[in-house]
């Protein structure tokens, strides 16, 4: 009986090979995770500051119909712009459901399409091709700021605003 107990103790307290392998594998997993964390946290952070809407800003509310060959989006539009060229557009589907927002000045823009998860921030001259139509809206509204209906076509995109 004593030899059986000693044998059980030897088995129970003897280091098992697979436990050591688990520790080694855990270290191999942690190192790549730490490296991935540092690489993704090094993404450039924008230091650009947009002007905040104030009393002198012109605000217009209405509807936007955005159309491409495959997508149609209709929403409530809130448009704010300042005589210096600062521009802000928010499109929503009722209170609290923002579909997209665009902030832009003469050479910098921030675009957030919550309904698709697309986000972009950077210099307007370096904007992705699919945002060029949206970024051209600023010039259209600065050119004719008091127009009740604005229709703008950019490639396959059509923007129709009604105020």
Higher pLDDT, 32 or 126: 126
Q: Is the pLDDT of residue 117 over 50?
A: yes
Q: Is the pLDDT of residue 19 over 90?
A: no
Average pLDDT (16-40) is: 51
Query: Does pTM top 0.85 for this prediction?
Result: no
Return the SS3 of 82: coil
Q: Which two tokens stand for residue 159?
A: 């923007």
The reported pLDDT for the residue numbered 7 is: 60
Instruction: Label residue 121 left, alpha or beta by phi (over 0 means left) and psi (-120 to 50 means alpha).
Output: beta
Q: Phi and psi (nearest 5°) for 41?
A: -80, -5
Spatial CB neighbours of 154, under 8 Å, sequence gap ≥ 6: 132, 133, 136
With tokens 């103790």, the residue in question is 9
């Amino acid at each position: 009986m004593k030899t059986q107990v000693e044998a059980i103790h030897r088995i129970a307290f003897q280091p098992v090979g697979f436990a050591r392998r688990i520790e080694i594998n855990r270290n191999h997993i942690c190192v790549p995770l730490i490296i991935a964390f540092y690489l993704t946290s090094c993404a450039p952070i924008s230091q650009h500051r947009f002007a905040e809407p104030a009393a002198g800003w012109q605000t217009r509310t209405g509807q936007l119909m955005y159309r491409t060959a495959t997508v149609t989006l209709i929403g409530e539009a809130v448009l704010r712009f300042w005589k210096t060229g600062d521009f802000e557009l928010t499109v929503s589907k009722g209170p609290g459901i923002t579909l997209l927002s665009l902030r832009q000045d003469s050479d910098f823009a921030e675009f957030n399409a919550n309904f698709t998860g697309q986000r972009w921030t950077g210099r307007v001259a370096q904007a992705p091709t699919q945002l060029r139509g949206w970024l051209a809206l600023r010039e259209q509204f600065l050119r004719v700021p008091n127009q009740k209906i604005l229709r703008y076509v950019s490639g396959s995109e059509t923007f129709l605003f009604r105020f």
